[in-house]
Structure 1
Amino acid sequence: MGFLNNVDDVPATHGRLAGYRQALAEAGVPSPPAGGEQASDAVGGYRASLGLLQGTERPTALFCFTDRMAMGAYHATACTPG
């Protein structure tokens, strides 16, 4: 699972990352060592999603910090074969 996190250093950025990691741990899924790809808007969500989707281990799901990032992720998934 991929995580598109916020670029801003605000409490929600850290809280959502902690919740993401907790959910993965409860499901028995290893958490990636990094804090997720970072973005702040639809364009950033698109770019970050492309990076994840074109990697060697394509994610089966994307968790996006905001709806704007998710809109970019939707566009990236529609444009990436696989």
Structure 2
Amino acid sequence: MSPLRWDVLAVGLVLALPVLAMGMRGDFSADEVAVRLPWCLLAGWGAVALLRWAATPPSPAPARRRAGAPGSADPEDAPTP
């Protein structure tokens, strides 16, 4: 999954809003904001990956071959005439 998908970027932006607000307020310097923004993108990627994994339905189990299916019996198990 690409880290530059629209849903990852949207979640990363939402997670970056508090960091940007603290930078605007003066709690963080511009360097601290620049260091923390990639972590917001990474956290957005992790959150979207986790949600996609949890929302994906399990794959169906492969169909088992029946014991009486033609061609599935061993030649040793066949009755002798």
Q: Give the TM-score range, shorter chain.
A: under 0.3
When you count strand as a share of all residues, which structure comes out higher?
1
TM-score by length of 2: 0.27
What is the TM-score of this pair, normalised by structure 1?
A: 0.27
Which structure shows the higher helix fraction?
A: 2
Larger radius of gyration: 2
